[in-house]
Amino acid sequence: MAKILIIAGISSSSYGRSIGLIGQKAGHQIYWVSGRKVECPGVIVKRLPECFGHSTFWRVLLEPFLVMEAIRKFRPDLIHVHYAMKGLVTIPLLFFHPLVVSTMGDDINPKYPYHKITVPFARLLLDHADIITSRSDYMDEALALIGNYQSKTRRVTFGIDLEKFHSNRDVGWLRKKLAIPADDIIFFDPRVAKPNYNKHVILGAFAHYLHNGGSAATLLVTEYLADPKYSLQLRHQAQSLGISDHVRFLGAIDLADLPDYFTLADITISIPSTDGLPQTFFEAFAYGSFIIAGDLPSYKGVLQNGVTACLVSVNDEIKLAETMQWVVKHPDIRKKAVQLGQIYIQDHADFRKQADLVNQIYSELISIYT
């Protein structure tokens, strides 16, 4: 049994925790460093005191010392860092091997947010890593713009648990709870309620869809991690467009309930201005919801326009509305796309297989350095 130290800021979600706990499957002891509170059974956690954990300033300043103390105290056999943009936390990691760095997408995106003050630290961390994991072809290309990492880059998508994520769910109760008419097509916007995710564009397109003869439909809008001003703006927009009766603002729904919403949804819409590779697509595939997404380079190799999804220009309400109309009128294409999407996740995003890949990496590196 080895000691694995996880350094991650994604631990607030059950999915983030499941990634960090992959080593437990191979019998390893997991330790975790996080600026925020982490609750993981069987895991020893090193975190900032509550009085500092809510302050970005103190987290940035104190996390490097937290990492140094964790390395000194736990004496890990391997460190696994999730997300390459770690800023000052990079410094103590430069004195440790073996080191695995998992890139998530937006942390190495050449347009956002890569060109910031943390760029030199990200490059140093990637240079120093023994293994870098990448989730897609696009991320491989983004890494190549930073440095020559091809020889130490491995494809790990992490993916989803196919035993839990499936479309055979009874969601009639949810349709009834949300008061959605039986014949309505259901569009679902599951992303974070911040301006970058262009929920206002989706609302505008949905209004065009309804006002131009679209089939009866309901739009579900999540408000996860909402910017309060933006969320209020969206509600006012729905009222001013005259579509409030056709929109359900869901608030900050529990992430554990997302499977039911994806299963209920005929069509999932995600058109952020910038993005990495979100779990949204894997989840939509698994639950049988067709995807309309922004035509972003970061989706390359995962979404195929006209095959597994429809890709649209990100700020074009009219084009999005026309795409919504077209997709609704072609249920056979939706069905085929969903089938192909489910084949994709079975081949490339089965969490159990991906966990095995991660544990193989752990075993390989530990054997080299011990």
pLDDT at 2 over 50: yes
pLDDT at 115 over 60: no
The arithmetic mean of pLDDT across residues 5-34, rounded, is 82
CA 150 to chain centre: 24
Domains 3-159+351-369 and 172-348 share a fold: yes
CA-nearest of 189, 222, 228, 183 to 205 is 189
The Cα 330–Cα 307 span in angstroms is: 13
The per-residue pLDDT for 114 is 54
The per-residue pLDDT for 45 is 81
The per-residue pLDDT for 34 is 77
The arithmetic mean of pLDDT across residues 156-160, rounded, is 91
pLDDT at 39 over 90: no
Q: How many contiguous H segments (helices) and E segments (strands) does the chain have?
A: 14, 13
pLDDT at 59 over 60: yes
pLDDT at 164 over 80: no
The per-residue pLDDT for 77 is 97
Write down the domain spans for the chain: 3-159+351-369, 172-348
The Cα 69–Cα 56 span in angstroms is: 20
The arithmetic mean of pLDDT across residues 255-284, rounded, is 91
State how far the alpha carbon of 114 is from the alpha carbons of 86, 106, 270, 353, 359, in Å.
12, 7, 22, 30, 29
Percent of the chain with pLDDT over 70: 92
Look up the pTM and report it: 0.86
Contact 267, 329 (CB under 8 A): no
Question: How high is the mean pLDDT of the chain?
Answer: 90
pLDDT at 172 over 70: yes
Contact 149, 128 (CB under 8 A): no
Amino acid at 233: Q
3-159+351-369: which CATH topology? Answer: Rossmann fold (3.40.50)
pLDDT at 353 over 50: yes
The per-residue pLDDT for 117 is 72
Residue linked to tokens 């998530």? 104
pLDDT at 113 over 90: no
The per-residue pLDDT for 52 is 58
The per-residue pLDDT for 51 is 62
The Cα 313–Cα 349 span in angstroms is: 26
The per-residue pLDDT for 10 is 47
Residue of higher predicted confidence among 51 and 312:
312
The arithmetic mean of pLDDT across residues 38-59, rounded, is 70
The arithmetic mean of pLDDT across residues 179-204, rounded, is 96
pLDDT at 57 over 60: yes
Residue of higher predicted confidence among 56 and 25:
25
pLDDT in tens, 210-263: 999 989 999 999 998 889 999 999 999 999 999 999 999 999 887 778 889 999
pLDDT at 11 over 80: no
Residue of higher predicted confidence among 66 and 164:
66
The Cα 10–Cα 223 span in angstroms is: 19
Secondary-structure class of domain 172-348 per CATH: alpha beta
pLDDT in tens, 295-336: 998 898 899 999 999 999 999 999 999 999 999 999 999 999
Give the range among 55-64, 73-82, 310-319 with minimum mean pLDDT. Answer: 55-64
The arithmetic mean of pLDDT across residues 55-70, rounded, is 83
- Torsions phi, psi for 221 (to 5 deg): -125, 115
From first CA to last CA, the distance across the chain in angstroms is 12
The per-residue pLDDT for 8 is 84
